[in-house]
Amino acid sequence: MTAPGTTTDWLRRLHPPGRGEARLVCFPHAGGSATFFHPVSARFAPAAEVLAVQYPGRQDRHREPCLTSVGELADRLAVELAPLPPRPTVFFGHSMGALVGFETVRRLERNAPESAPRSLVVSGRRAPSTRRPERVHELDDAGLLAEVRALDGPDMSALDDDFLALILPALRNDYRAVETYRAADAAVVGCPVLALTGRDDPRTTPEEADAWRRHTDGGFELEVMPGHHFFLVDQAQAVCDRLGEQLALAHGGRARPPRG
């Protein structure tokens, strides 16, 4: 589901663009795709331009090799985003997407500051400087699917073997990218950061989400919402309300939430 809003292989419009002054760029979770953000796009387009990232190795890009690290993904996305017409922009990344969004901001602030976002919203992911000894990408296929179920992720029980064979390589690759990612404690972005997390997320505690404050020279705010790792599905209204606030602040040139 990309037409009629397809832009590039990497950046998708899921709804026809309007004349909105602000831009929202959405970065998916491990194994996720651009279409995960269809409800978010429906909420804000065409009042805002909504772009969803499509990583290689999935859906219509399933024949392309996956990139093997968060840094590689961020390198490519920074190149894709830099030429876009300047517009007040908010980045929104869930889980792996939070890390990819963070690293993409760092590259844009360094190399194309006019294209850097005015705010970064990170969801369902502990801060880059936090560490856990996780090796999910080394599990067999059954173990990998069990991990997805443990996170209340998409139900794959009804998928046949052929379809799973298309999905699992990208999922495993994404887990490898996340679990081998390392950021220095001093890695920061200049824009403010809003961190959202589920109260019962087994992969991110509120304290680990709060550690994002160490990675911004701008303002910081944390909001803990009811729910599990994919709390943003059940809490879609509340999440979109916060995104709407960030877009309004970005458009007004003052996307700087107070330090919490």
DSSP string, 146-210: HHHHHTT----TT--HHHHHHHHHHHHHHHHHHHT----TT--BSS-EEEEEETT-TT--HHHHH
- For the chain, the average pLDDT equals 88
Q: Residues 5-32: what's their mean pLDDT?
A: 87
The string of pLDDT tens digits covering residues 25-42 is 999 999 899 999 999 999
Q: What is the dihedral of CA 220, 224, 228, 233, to 10 degrees?
A: -80
pTM of this prediction? 0.90
Q: Are the CB atoms for 11 and 53 separated by under 8 Å?
A: yes
**Longest Cα pair distance anywhere in the chain, in angstroms?**
50
From residue 226, give the alpha-carbon distance in Å to each of 36, 39, 157, 201, 231: 20, 19, 26, 9, 7
Query: What is the DSSP pairing of strand 220-225 with strand 11-12?
Result: unpaired
For position 153, what pLDDT does the model report? 60
CATH 3.40.30.10 matches 11-251: no
Ramachandran bin of 65, using left for φ above 0, alpha for ψ from -120 to 50, beta for the remaining angles: beta
**Secondary structure (3-state) at 141:** helix
For position 160, what pLDDT does the model report? 43
**When comparing pLDDT for 171 and 193, which is higher?**
193
The string of pLDDT tens digits covering residues 228-256 is 999 999 999 999 999 999 999 998 865 44
DSSP β-bridge partners for residue 27: 93
Exposed/middle/buried for residue 9 (C-beta within 10 Å: 0-12, 13-18, 19+): middle
What are the structural domain ranges in the chain?
11-251
List the catalytic residues. Answer: 95
The string of pLDDT tens digits covering residues 110-134 is 999 999 999 999 999 999 999 877 8
The string of pLDDT tens digits covering residues 152-175 is 765 554 444 455 667 788 899 999
Name the nearest CA neighbour of 9 among 26, 31, 34.
Answer: 34
Which DSSP category does 15 fall into?
S
DSSP string, 71-88: HHHHHHHHHHHTTSPP--
Amino acid in position 255? A
Q: Distance between CA 218 and CA 171 in Å, rounded? A: 33
